[in-house]
Structure 1
């Protein structure tokens, strides 16, 4: 067996014998079958204990891209015969060249089991009919996440993206109780409901659960409050993953909005300083870049893989829900980080400030027109729908008072100077897939 039944509820000390045995097998597999890691390690032998894993060099996405370019389609980190490849996915390419992902039947099954743990923790179960609104076209978030929803026992409607009017009718006709989508997608639905279904409100759809993933934003209290007020549902961050590693290995539960690490039996987590690469203790209060190592992977095993995600560890003790994995929040991505006069700024931090203004819609972009360094943070913020075009508020907007207030709040809360440009309501595009918040023009 590659996984442990209900591993998310087993204390780490009880899992340790399984983890040690899994690493022994995976270590031998990678040494024997991965030319990529043999070259990276330059003859060094991986340590027998995961406690000593920091002796090995880190690997990252740029190295995998070069590997796939030199050895298409899967790179020389493919550690299995092509005949063992059971499924091909492709990453979204949000942060660069899209990557081909190879899964064996065992890889796919483990992925489904771990993702099912996450969806169950978020509250999904056999009592639910869930409509899945992510792109099925090669992206792992489509088919693979669909299978994790099935693993939780729910009835799954494989809807995908587009045809939003049909989606609204389907939710009403079928009695859908949950939706799986990106955090930005409800705004698309709201617009279509307002335009095409007069008199219908989002909460009239009867959804009780929103299962979100694929992009940041769910952790913002203002987003959660808005989802509950507008839709009448419980928003859950149910789907955190790294496509090259696992599509979904962490989610929140009904007791704690922090993400719970759900894959300790098949995935080893480390924390490093994102600048120096030095190891950091994975303990409450610490923050750093998440580094992951497969403990059971046939096709494209990764060892000490830098995810680019900066996390903050909230707790390492068991949760009230009974799950034992460490709990954490994602601060942002290292490639989305903007350094303003020595201060690290992440889009989620800016979003939290903008969402505190009722005059703003919450949609924004950080548009970088030149290379660093940056003295100010350039923010484009959209006005809320219904903000009057005439009257006192319109005069304040036209006179720049609101922009100055927003810039002042960013300075007060984040410490960075900002130049704020206000845009008319509806001027920033709403997307069915991932939304890019940081736009680096000409870079």
Structure 2
């Protein structure tokens, strides 16, 4: 897919001059934090070296993997059993608070986080001083790819209360050399005043948060439009949506900033992928810290990581002290969109998230993800972009029941709902039943928005 020719904040063109000079002179020296620019052979050798050290450590220290023969070579990993979130929860219930996959001494733990619990009971995450540094360095490679660099001032608007996205992601922003404001969540009116007073360059927040800001501006600052805040870069994370060009275009048109997709998995690495200015998709930048695989989510068989392939992302720790994981199932279904060198100079493969396997809806044999529905809804200016899929009973389903919110000033009509239903059918192959809601009916949230409601 051709890349978009948008720009990073503070850059001209999609390839910074320092990258161009290194690529053109073949002067890239492979290090832990620039594997995104290395050749596949160079990266593979580094990963194998790291795995040799990590596998020996896991075999010696992790009771969770005791008795399981870890493969010596990374290419042999598909023969090793997968690790699931359910197994981690069970481990922590039996061996509180960190589970028997804690491989470090308790005296080495310097930080405790908890997952958000979006898909079940929260999991406790332990970090050593080394782990915290790794998380920051790895996340910094992704944030740099997305356009954050020294001289920019960014507000970090994620939850600092236990959640990995708070303090740990803050450190990943600082790793780029940018100035970071630890704003957190809540106090949206204060954020508006802060952005205007400090002339912020960017914001790091959930994909849902701009909608919250828009509502606050309408209600509390009627003379201030989103573009008046002057933000140039939006690092959006924590939930799907930005993979859809229509959704991203709506945000960029409203705010005037470059919307960049940031991705990670709290259990293994909170940020490891970021979208550059030259592509609609994300680069897997943290190849020195985690090893990626693809599997068929139903058969669990390996899938080659190549252009155009689709599968569930599976990750293995390469440099973790406290809770190293081997072949961890993310439940995220991704599409590999490029393995060649990007126009930005990075060789790290590009991908987009199609959805979570546990969010997939089967409608008369057709697999549908909420992200696909979002792409359709965001094409309609008559709609606000807010929606929810309301499922009752067990699958399979004959139609997708969708509640969609109207844009301000728009009146519901049968022709509009019919049009949305037909477009969803054309895009997904599945029938939908669309119910139009009045503006501001669906609650905006600073955290992750639940698109599927089950009753």
TM-score by length of structure 1 reads 0.94
Task: Give 1:411 shift.
Answer: 1.2
Q: Is structure 2 residue 118 aligned with structure 1 residue 94?
A: yes
2:13 alignment counterpart:
none
Q: Is 1:79 paired with 2:103?
A: yes
2:147 alignment partner in structure 1: 123
User: Is contact 2:247–2:374 with CA below 8 Å preserved after alignment?
Assistant: no
| 1:386 aligned onto 2:413 | no
In structure 2, the residue matched to 1:407 is 421
Q: Structure 1, unaligned stretches of length 5 or more? A: 389-393
Give secondary structure in 2 for the equivalent of 1:379: strand
SS of corresponding position for 2:313: strand
Tell me which residue corresponds to 1:188: 212
In structure 2, distance between residues paired with 1:248 and 1:339:
30
Following superposition, the deviation at residue 230 of structure 1 comes to 1.6
* Matching of residues 165-314 of structure 1 within 5 Å: 165-237=189-261, 239-314=262-337
Supply the distance in 2 between the matched residues of 1:5 and 1:129 (Cα, whole angstroms): 22
* Residues 71-101 of structure 1: per-residue CA shift (max 9 Å, x gap): 1111111111111111111100111111100
1:59 correspondence with 2:83: yes
Alignment equivalent of 1:21, drawn from 49, 57, 82: 49
SS of the equivalent of 2:333 reads: strand
Asked if 1:428 is matched to 2:430, the reply is no
**Counterparts of 1:200 and 1:19 in 2: how far apart (Å)?**
50
Shift of 1:429: 0.5
Aligned mates of 2:437, 2:93 — CA distance in 1: 41
Report how far residue 5 of structure 1 moved.
4.1
After TM superposition, give the deviation of residue 329 of structure 1 in Å. 0.5
How far is 1:18 from its partner?
2.2
Aligned match of 1:331: 354
Instruction: Give the distance between the partners of 1:251 and 1:5, measured in 2 at CA.
Output: 14
Partners of 2:240 and 2:450 in 1: how far apart? 10
Question: Is 1:110–2:134 an aligned residue pair?
Answer: yes
Name 1:391's counterpart in structure 2: none
The range that moved more, 71-80 or 189-198, is 189-198
Cα distance in 2 between the residues matched to 1:21 and 1:28: 11
Shift of 1:359: 1.5
* SS of match in other structure, 2:359: coil
Asked if the contact 1:3/1:110 (under 8 Å) is kept, the reply is no
Give the secondary-structure state (helix, strand or coil) at the position aligned to 1:207: coil
Secondary structure class of the residue paired with 1:410: helix
Q: Which runs of 5+ in 2 are unaligned?
A: 1-29
Q: Against the structure 1 CA distance between its residues 366 and 427, is the aligned structure 2 distance closer, same or farther, given a 3 Å change threshold?
A: same
Cα distance between partner residues in 1 of 2:165 and 2:93? 24
Please tell me whether the aligned partners of residues 22 and 296 of structure 1 are also in contact (alpha carbons under 8 angstroms): yes
1:125-171 per-position Cα deviation (integer Å, ceiling 9, x unaligned):
11211011111101011111111111111111111111111100000
| Structure 1 match to 2:168 | 144
Q: Which residue of 1 aligns with 2:9?
A: none
- Equivalent-residue separation in structure 2 for 1:293 and 1:272 (angstroms): 13
Q: Which residue of 2 aligns with 1:416?
A: 430
Is the Cα–Cα contact under 8 Å of residues 249 and 262 in structure 1 kept in the other structure?
A: yes
1:318 to 314, 318, 341: 341
- State the alpha-carbon separation in 1 of the partners of residues 295 and 60 from structure 2: 27
User: For the residues of structure 2 that align with 1:198 and 1:280, how far apart are their CA atoms?
Assistant: 52
Query: Structure 1's 5 and 338: CA in aligned 2 closer, same or farther, altered over 3 A?
Result: closer
How far is the alpha carbon of 1:241 from its aligned partner? Answer: 0.3
Partner SS for 2:358? coil
Match of 1:36 in 2: 64
Please give the alpha-carbon distance, in whole angstroms, between the structure 2 residues aligned to 1:210 and 1:326: 22
Secondary structure at 2:186 match in 1: coil
Please state whether the residue corresponding to 2:271 is helix, strand or coil: strand
What is the rounded CA distance, in whole Å, between the counterparts of 2:164 and 2:188 in structure 1? 21
8 Å contact kept, 2:33–2:141: no
Q: Equivalent residue for 2:5?
A: none
Distance 2:337 2:222 in 1: 44
Instruction: Tell me the CA shift for residue 36 of structure 1.
Output: 1.2
Find the aligned partners of 1:370 and 1:3 in 2 and give their Cα distance: 52
Question: Shift of the alpha carbon at 1:17?
Answer: 2.7
Matched residue pairs, number?
426
CA distance in 2, matches of 1:170, 1:291: 40
Q: How many angstroms apart in 2 are the aligned matches of 1:248 and 1:231?
A: 24
